[in-house]
Amino acid sequence: MSSFADYKLGCGTYRVMIQKRCGESFVCEAKFSKLTYNRILNDISEAEIKIPMRGTCCECLANVNPWEHELAIFRNDELVWVGPIVDMEFDMVNEVAKINAKDLLTWADHRLVELADTEYDPDSTDLGDAYQWLLSQAYCKDPWCMTWSIDTLGVPIERYYPAFDKTGGEIGGGQYPIIGDELRKLSDAGVDYTVIGRHLWGGGVAVTNPIASGVTLMDKHFRAAPTISVAGSRMTNRVVSVGGQGGVTGWNNDQTAIYPQVTGPILPSALDGTQQRFGLLESLSQNDLYDEIDTTELPNPIAQEGYNKYKLLSQPFVYITGGTLTQDTPMSFQDSLIPGGIISIAIETTCRALTDDVMRLTEINVSADAEDEIISITLTPVGAEGLL
């Protein structure tokens, strides 16, 4: 079995195919002049190609339509990105065609929760199971040829979707939320997901997919230095975390958790170390997915959310963007350059050096043409879903 030390990012050579939905058949190869695409954690990734409108390209594009066709990107003959075409533009002055596509999960933004017979109202369900149920509801109406794996997360939530009923020949009742919006809510509550090719990895991505744990990126692995940002606009060092909907009487005591805990009114003498150093920065964290949870019993998701937010944001939020990777970067494009991976950073050629800082890979951006491939990354503190 290869170790990460054996991996090299290498140089990518690209081919882009336009194909029928689900990859049933190739329509043509897109002879692009410029290609950009990304991989992203907890969001829908995008791709764009620009094609000179000369030669036989018009014959290829004449009958291509959004949603009917997909863009499939191959790096060194391996499928690295695929998704439906959503927009096309033909610039007749500059003789350039532009095609935009989104990854396969974008189909969930065009499907409704629509229950005809049986409502969805478990007394309590796991966060990962609720995500899988919603995804299945979107997929069963009209499959888009994607597989997925979702971890059970051990986080109980309450979620209710009523069924509609037919009365007098007309449909009444129900809620009909957009499934993509519901999936994003569950992501905010703790589900991590990323789409690679035709598969969605969900839940504990680092467990279900081989991720680049143990990799250390150093100055020599960047052919263009990254940007190190230190953000304080979202800092908080006292978090009040609540569940449910609240109301005119406020939240019930058993629906509220405060971190760090205090036994009385906040006074200067009671401030902890971070509060004294940076000043008192209070915040409210509300999540209506968590309902009827007793925060006096541990573990529970409300208290955990407050604790996580405090640990993540009680110090300045340091993140890394850009930074073009070299061909010798000790990572495999297919196996380890995947959002969700944990990576060590040791960068010294900057006035704010990072020494063995452990960070999380949240986005990969790729740009390629006939001469070069540029791969840049975004790294955030462990625990962050992305840039705050």
Q: Domain of 10: which CATH number?
A: 2.40.10
The answer to the question of residue 276 being in a domain is yes
The answer to the question of residue 302 being in a domain is yes
The residue among 71, 102, 133 that closes a domain is 102
| Helix/strand/coil percent split, the chain, to 5 | 20, 40, 45
Are 93 and 160 found together in one domain? no
Are 271 and 187 found together in one domain? no
Are 68 and 133 found together in one domain? no
Are 26 and 90 found together in one domain? yes
Report which DSSP code applies to 177: -
**CA dist 290 → 5, 277, 285 (Å):** 43, 33, 12
The residue among 54, 79, 102 that closes a domain is 102
The residue among 276, 294, 313 that closes a domain is 313
Report which DSSP code applies to 134: H
Structural domain count, the chain: 3
The answer to the question of residue 94 being in a domain is yes
Are 82 and 44 found together in one domain? yes
Are 198 and 116 found together in one domain? yes
Tokens of 92: 């007749």
Are 94 and 116 found together in one domain? no
Look up the domain containing 96 and give its range. Answer: 4-102
Are 56 and 72 found together in one domain? yes
**CA 265-267-270 angle, 5° bins:** 95
Are 33 and 57 found together in one domain? yes
CA–CA separation, 163 and 174 (whole Å): 5
Q: Which long-range contacts (CB under 8 A, 24 or more apart) does 22-26 make?
A: 22/70, 22/143, 22/144, 22/145, 23/70, 23/72, 23/82, 23/145, 23/198
Question: Can you give the pLDDT of all 388 residues of the chain as single tens digits?
Answer: 344 456 788 889 999 999 999 998 999 999 999 999 999 999 999 999 999 987 666 778 888 999 999 999 999 999 999 999 999 999 988 889 999 999 999 999 999 988 877 888 887 888 899 999 999 999 999 999 999 999 888 888 888 888 876 554 444 555 678 999 999 988 887 888 999 999 999 986 555 555 555 688 999 999 988 999 999 999 999 999 998 877 767 777 788 899 998 777 778 888 889 999 999 999 998 888 787 788 888 888 888 889 989 999 999 999 999 889 999 999 889 888 889 888 889 998 888 888 878 899 999 999 999 889 999 999 998 888 777 6
Q: How many CB atoms lie within 10 A of CB 83?
A: 27
Are 94 and 122 found together in one domain? no
The answer to the question of residue 219 being in a domain is no
pTM for the full predicted model = 0.87
Are 73 and 128 found together in one domain? no
Are 64 and 140 found together in one domain? no
